[in-house]
């Protein structure tokens, strides 16, 4: 079997390199400010808030912690810490250099993170609001699509776009196409125009097409976002108070498998099978 580098999926707020988490109950602000040199592998730079798996592992961790550790948080605002850019989506150099397996599993993981964001509103009364304060392209707009509400800054230049088909010959595959028509009920012909127009859509047209929920000029953007967040928080039944802390898993890997406190995995390399035992004590 070829040797592969194991990817560590655990993270915690002390080790975040790409996100800032700020809590001011009932609101949490999740700010994306990707460290360009903090990618999972060498050979690409995560410019313009583009992301790879390392960035998404942290986001996944944030989603879990907000749910379990912060019952006082009723609404989560995701925004960008960069000037003029919200998020440029998955890093293209990373995708171009990755094996097929890695691309497939990267997409599966990022899809699951976005599903978990949607699940937070559906089952935990913790809704997510995207405050798009700069260009949101591809996976950047798809991240917003996973939120319950999208607010776009109206400054004559900031756009939302899905440029994958025209520029990259692939799909907005992190839920983008599906959520446009299934979740946001964007008319299919407009969705087709949107997904084939690399320059994207801005301002009132983005509202008219259903791509975003509202727009606000730069001067009143923060106030508008705060008001929308408060209105969502008012409708949440999360109780406040103290949460529980998600401790690091007690994980013991070995050449023959991996053991946790209640789950043990044993590899049978000859059979290509992993036996997973769940123990109820």
Partner 1 sequence: MGTWILRTEGDPAAVLAVDEVLCEHRGHWLIREITAFWKRSLKRLDVSARTLVALIEAGSCFAGTLAELALAADQSFILDGQVADRDLPAPVLVLSEVNDGLHPMANGLSRLASRHWGHPDRLDAARSAFGKELLAAECLDLGLVTFARDDIDWDDEVRLMLEERAAFSPDALNGLEASLRFVGPETTETKIFGRLSAWQNWIFLRPNASGPEGALRRYGTGSRPVYDHRRV
198 binds partner 1 (CB under 8 A): no
Phi-psi region of 210 (alpha: psi -120 to 50; beta: other; left: phi over 0): left
Q: State which of residues 24, 167, 193, 227 lies at the interface with partner 1 (CB under 8 A).
A: 167
7 binds partner 1 (CB under 8 A): no
Stretch that binds partner 1, among 48-56, 90-98, 187-195, 214-222 (CB under 8 A): 90-98
Least separation in angstroms between CB 15 and partner 1: 22
23 binds partner 1 (CB under 8 A): no
Q: State which of residues 7, 193, 249, 273 lies at the interface with partner 1 (CB under 8 A).
A: 273
Least separation in angstroms between CB 155 and partner 1: 26
Per the structure block, which two tokens stand in for 70?
A: 């912060």
Q: Please, which residue, 156 or 242, has the CB nearer to partner 1?
A: 242
173 binds partner 1 (CB under 8 A): yes
104 binds partner 1 (CB under 8 A): yes
Stretch that binds partner 1, among 14-22, 50-58, 92-100, 206-214 (CB under 8 A): 92-100
- Half-sphere exposure of 161 toward its Cβ, with a 13 Å CA cutoff? 21
CA 264 to chain centre: 30
Output the CA–CA distances (angstroms, integers) from residue 151 to 136, 200, 208, 237, 252, in the order listed: 11, 16, 13, 23, 44
170 binds partner 1 (CB under 8 A): yes
Provide CB contacts within 8 A for 193, sequence distance 6+.
none
254 binds partner 1 (CB under 8 A): no
Provide CB contacts within 8 A for 85, sequence distance 6+.
48, 49, 134, 135
Q: Which of 28, 50, 33, 129 is nearest to 96 (CA)?
A: 50
Cis peptide before 26 (omega within 30 of 0): yes
Give the interface with partner 1 as residue ranges (CB under 8 A).
64, 67-68, 71, 92-93, 95-96, 100, 103-104, 107-108, 111-112, 115-116, 119, 123-124, 167-171, 173, 175-179, 182-183, 238-239, 243-244, 267, 271-281
């Amino acid at each position: 079997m070829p040797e592969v580098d194991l990817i560590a999926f655990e993270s915690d707020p002390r080790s975040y390199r790409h996100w800032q988490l700020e809590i001011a109950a009932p609101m949490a602000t999740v700010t994306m400010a990707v460290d360009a040199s903090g990618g999972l592998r060498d050979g690409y730079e995560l410019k313009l808030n583009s992301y790879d798996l390392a960035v998404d592992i942290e986001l996944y961790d944030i989603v879990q912690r907000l749910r379990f550790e912060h019952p006082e948080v009723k609404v989560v605002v995701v925004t960008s810490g960069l000037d003029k850019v919200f998020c440029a989506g998955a890093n293209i150099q990373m995708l171009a250099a990755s094996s097929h397996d890695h691309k497939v599993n990267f997409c599966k993981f990022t899809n699951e993170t976005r599903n978990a964001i949607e699940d937070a509103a559906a089952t935990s009364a913790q809704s997510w609001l995207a405050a798009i304060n700069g260009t949101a392209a591809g996976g950047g707009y798809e991240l917003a699509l996973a939120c319950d509400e999208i607010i776009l800054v109206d400054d004559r230049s900031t756009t939302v776009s899905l440029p994958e088909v025209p520029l990259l010959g692939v799909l907005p595959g992190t839920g983008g196409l599906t959520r446009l028509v299934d979740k946001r009920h964007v008319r299919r012909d407009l969705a087709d125009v949107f997904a084939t127009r690399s320059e994207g859509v801005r301002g009132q047209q983005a509202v008219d097409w259903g791509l975003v929920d509202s727009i606000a000029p730069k001067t009143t953007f923060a106030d508008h976002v705060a008001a929308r967040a408060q209105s969502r928080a008012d409708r949440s039944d999360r109780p406040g108070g103290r949460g529980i802390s998600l401790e690091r898993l007690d994980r013991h890997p070995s050449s023959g498998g991996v053991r946790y406190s209640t789950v043990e995995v044993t590899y049978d390399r000859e059979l290509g099978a992993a036996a997973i035992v769940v123990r109820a004590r």
